[in-house]
A and B are shown apart, each in its own frame.
Chain A
Amino acid sequence: DVKVTQSSRYLVKRTGEKVFLECVQDMDHENMFWYRQDPGLGLRLIYFSYDVKMKEKGDIPEGYSVSREKKERFSLILESASTNQTSMYLCASSGVGDRGYQPQHFGDGTRLSIL
């Protein structure tokens, strides 16, 4: 079974703080993703990475950055947290398509509140 682990289930931070969200997967997946989930909007892609040190912007990258120094770990960084970044953050991973299509597998999410 694929295991995607997010370091915190709940997090409360203050406006202006630098916030780190960590994600680790144990299936040697090449692709890793960060989404945020907001009511009525579904999941929106912030950034994804298809290899170590590689990253691509998703639909809503503003105010965020990412780091992938090791294949199994993908970090999301809020450079200066703002109240509109209060949300549920979901990490996902997937293998590449040479083994057939592989769906994304998700962690349990981090509910982040910015005060």
Chain B
Amino acid sequence: DQQVKQNSPSLSVQEGRISILNCDYTNSMFDYFLWYKKYPAEGPTFLISISSIKDKNEDGRFTVFLNKSAKHLSLHIVPSQPGDSAVYFCAASTYNNNDMRFGAGTRLTVKP
């Protein structure tokens, strides 16, 4: 029962362009949605989050959009840089963090 889905296993973009990573969820009880970035041989690093009461959160080059009616969120990276190449995990959590669900991940490659 995958409550969080990332349907694109990989994405390739040119340096300087926009990267858009997508995520869908099924459980409307989630309070927070997060994106983690993972380099090989390292643990996931927290990138950005959004509360379920908001529809947009921005942090530098990274913006997360939440569409609650569609149960969909996306991460926009503008402009994309080669150092952004990593696996990105979408996650959804209740407020107390005791039930966080992860997607399968999307491997982003940013080409110079």
Residue-wise, chain A 83-115 has the 8 Å CB interface mask toward B (1 for contact) of: 000000010101011000111111111000000
> What is the distance, in angstroms, from B8's C-beta to the closest C-beta of chain A?
13
Task: Provide the bound-state CA to CA distance between A35 and B91, in Å.
Answer: 13
**A109 pairs with B95, CB closer than 8 A:** no
Q: Is the interface of B mostly helix, strand, loop or mixed?
A: loop
Near B by CB (< 8 A), chain A positions 56-107 give 56, 90, 92, 94, 96-97, 101-107
Residues of B within 8 A of A (CB-CB), count = 26
Which stretch in B14-22, B75-83, B102-110 binds the other chain?
B102-110
Near B by CB (< 8 A), chain A positions 1-59 give 4, 9, 31, 33, 35, 40-45, 48, 50, 56
Q: What is A's interface to B at a CB cutoff of 8 Å?
A: 4, 9, 31, 33, 35, 40-45, 48, 50, 56, 90, 92, 94, 96-97, 101-109
Q: Is residue B96 contacting chain A, with contact meaning CB distance below 8 A? A: yes
**B98 pairs with A101, CB closer than 8 A:** no
Closest to B49 in A: A103
Task: Provide the bound-state CA to CA distance between A50 and B46, in Å.
Answer: 20
> What is the distance, in angstroms, from B28's C-beta to the closest C-beta of chain A?
18
**A104 pairs with B104, CB closer than 8 A:** no
